[in-house]
Amino acid sequence: MRFYRTLLTALRALQRNVLRAGLTTLGIVIGVAAVIAMMEIGNGSTLAIQRTIATMGAYNLLIFPGNIAAGGVSYGSGSSMTLTPPDADAIVAECPSVITAAPIVRTRTQIVYGNRNWVPNTMYGTTPAYLEVRDWTEMAEGVAFTDRDVRNCSKVCLVGQTIVRELFAGESPLGKEIRMQNVNVKIIGVLQPKGANMMGSDQDDIVLAPWTTIKFRVTGTSVSTPNLSASTAAASTTVLPSQVYPNTSLTLYSVPSTVQQTDTPAPVRFANVDQIVAAARSAGQVSTAIDEITSLMRERHHLRGDMPDDFTIRDLTEIMKTMSSTTELMTNLLLIVALISLVVGGVGIMNIMLVSVTERTREIGLRMAVGAQGPDILRQFLTEAVVLCLLGGIFGIGLGRATSWLVRVLKHWPTASSLGAIVAAVLVSASVGIIFGFYPAWKASRLDPIEALRYE
C-alpha cells in the first residue's frame, strides 16, 4: 500500500514534466540500448569466431597409443598397439563430455588416376564420425561414406580439393576410381576446402576412406593377406612383384593344415588403430573429457592402479588459448563500453534529480509541513530516479534489440540474443537509479522545512 502510494506519487511527479523526464532517461535508454546491441552483436561475433576456431579443432582431443620399450629401447609414442575401434565407440557411449569420436588409421601411399599420380599428405582410414569431429560434414560434391561402408570394407573414399586439382585437373572426380596400392577405390564425395592449418600444412591434401578399407585392403596388415608381410609398414609405397603377380609369388611360409588351423585359430583382424580423435562438447568440457577418457581407457585396457597409461591424450592447448583469449577480450570490451555508457547515463540522472530537488524545494518543504518525514521524501525521490532508470532500461532493451535486428538484416552481421544481457540491463539500470538517485534524494530528505518553505 505504502509502496504503491510512493510509486504513484513518483509517477505523478514525473508526469508533471514529461519532456524532461524523457530527456533524462535518454542517457539510460542509449546506454542500455548500446549494451544490449553490443551484447547481441558481440555474442554473435563471439559465436561465429568460436565456430570458426572450433572447425580448426579447438575442442578436439587426440588419443594416441602409448610407447613400448624393449630392453631399455623405447619405440616412441604410438608404438604400442592397444587402441581399437571399439575404444572409440566406448568413448562416445560412456563419456558424457564427448560428443563424438572416430578411430583413425594412417597411411601414406601413392594414388593413381589415369596418367597422373600423387601422394596425399594425409590418408586417413576412419568412420563418418571423423567428419563431425572436424566439423566437415558438408560435402562440396557427392556424399560422405557411411558406417555401413565401414562395416563392409567398401572401396569408397572422399577426397580433398587439392587431390581434385592434382589428379583430376579440376573436373568432377565423383564416381571415378583411383588406385591406392593396386586397390581401386571409388570417389563418392569431395570435401569442402579447409585451407592450411595453423602450422601451414595443407588440410585439403587429404583422402578419407573407411578405416577397414585402409587397414585391410590398402595397407593390408590383416590375416586375410598373410603373405604380404613385406608391405605391412604403413609408409611403404614399394610394391613387391609378389603382389602384382600373385601367381608367381613364392610361398615363404608353410601353409598350415586344416588340423593346425582348427587347433590354433588365427586372431581375426587384429584391428588396432593409430589414433582416436574425440570432440568435447565445449571448450570448458575439454579437461573433463580428458579425465573421463583416461579412466575409461584404463578400465578397457585392464590397467591396474600402479601401471602407467598405455595411451596419451593431447588437447589443442594453443588453439584453446586463442579461443578463450578472444572470448575474454570480447567480453571485457563489451563490459567497458557498457560501464562507460551507463555511468554517463547515471550522471545524467543524478544531475537532473539534483536540479529537480532544487526546483521542488518548496514542494519538499510543503510535504514536510504536512507531515512527511525525511525517509518519506528520500523514498519518493529515490523511487522517481529508479522509475526513470527502469523505464529507460525497458526502452533501451527495445531500442537495443531493434538495433541489433537492423544490423543483422542490413549488414548481415551475426547476432545472438542474450537473455542474460536483458536481465543484466534491467538490474544495472535499477542499480544506476539507486546509486545516482540516492545523493539527490538524501539531500532532499535533509532539507529544513522552514528554509524549504521560504525558498524562492
Rounded Cα gap, residues 101 and 103, in angstroms: 7
Rounded Cα gap, residues 378 and 356, in angstroms: 13
Rounded Cα gap, residues 282 and 22, in angstroms: 44
Residues 102-161 that bind other proteins (CB under 8 A): none
Residues 8-47 that bind other proteins (CB under 8 A): 9, 12, 15-17
Q: How far is the CB of 454 from other proteins (least distance, A)?
A: 9
Q: How far is the CB of 24 from other proteins (least distance, A)?
A: 17
Could you say whether residue 367 binds other proteins (CB under 8 A)? yes
Burial class of residue 437 in the structure, from the number of CB atoms within 10 Å of its CB (0-12 exposed, 13-18 middle, 19+ buried): buried
Q: Closer CB to other proteins, residue 409 or residue 450?
A: 450
Q: Closer CB to other proteins, residue 296 or residue 366?
A: 366
- Binding map of other proteins across residues 368-407, x = CB under 8 A, - = no contact: xxxxxxx-x-------------------------------
Q: How far is the CB of 371 from other proteins (least distance, A)?
A: 2
Q: Closer CB to other proteins, residue 90 or residue 372?
A: 372
Burial class of residue 392 in the structure, from the number of CB atoms within 10 Å of its CB (0-12 exposed, 13-18 middle, 19+ buried): buried
| DSSP for 187-225, written as a single string | EEEEEPP--B-TTS-BTTSEEEEEHHIIIIIIS--STTS
Q: Closer CB to other proteins, residue 110 or residue 373?
A: 373
Burial 220-251 (b: 16+ CB within 10 A, else e): bbbeeeebbeebeebebeeeeebbeeeeeeee
Strands 122-126 and 111-113: unpaired
List % helix, strand, coil for the chain (3-state, nearest 5).
55, 15, 30
Could you say whether residue 335 binds other proteins (CB under 8 A)? no
SS3 371: coil
Q: Which of 173, 365, 400, 440 binds other proteins (CB under 8 A)?
A: 365
Q: Which of 51, 269, 314, 362 binds other proteins (CB under 8 A)?
A: 362
Q: Closer CB to other proteins, residue 1 or residue 235?
A: 1
Phi, psi of 179 (to 5 degrees): -105, 130
| DSSP for 147-158, written as a single string | HHHHHHT-SEEE
Helix (H) or strand (E) holding 80: none
Closest CA relative to residue 311, chosen from 263, 272, 261, 355: 272
Q: Which stretch binds other proteins (CB under 8 A): 137-145, 222-230, 299-307, 447-455?
A: 447-455
Q: Which stretch binds other proteins (CB under 8 A): 74-82, 210-218, 334-342, 359-367?
A: 359-367
Q: How far is the CB of 400 from other proteins (least distance, A)?
A: 32
Q: How far is the CB of 281 from other proteins (least distance, A)?
A: 55
Q: Closer CB to other proteins, residue 215 or residue 367?
A: 367
Closest CA relative to residue 65, chosen from 106, 97, 96: 106
Q: Which stretch binds other proteins (CB under 8 A): 33-41, 208-216, 366-374, 427-435?
A: 366-374
Could you say whether residue 7 binds other proteins (CB under 8 A)? no
Q: Closer CB to other proteins, residue 3 or residue 245?
A: 3
Angle at 37 between CA 32 and CA 42, to 5 degrees: 125
| 121, 206 contact by CB (below 8 A) | yes
SS3 74: strand
Q: Closer CB to other proteins, residue 347 or residue 450?
A: 450
Strands 183-191 and 156-159: parallel
Could you say whether residue 202 binds other proteins (CB under 8 A)? no
Q: How far is the CB of 368 from other proteins (least distance, A)?
A: 7
Q: Which of 1, 255, 259, 410 binds other proteins (CB under 8 A)?
A: 1
Q: Which of 135, 292, 315, 363 binds other proteins (CB under 8 A)?
A: 363
Q: Closer CB to other proteins, residue 89 or residue 376?
A: 376
Q: Closer CB to other proteins, residue 134 or residue 367?
A: 367
Burial 19-57 (b: 16+ CB within 10 A, else e): eebeebbebbbbbbbbbbbbbbbbbbbbeebbeebbebb
Q: Which residues touch 120 (CB under 8 Å, ≥6 apart)? A: 108, 111, 160, 162, 163, 205, 206, 207
Could you say whether residue 92 binds other proteins (CB under 8 A)? no
Q: How far is the CB of 45 from other proteins (least distance, A)?
A: 47
Q: How far is the CB of 99 from other proteins (least distance, A)?
A: 59
Q: Closer CB to other proteins, residue 80 or residue 361?
A: 361
The residues of the shown chain that bind other proteins, judged by CB under 8 A, are: 1-2, 5, 9, 12, 15-17, 362-363, 365-374, 376, 449-450, 453
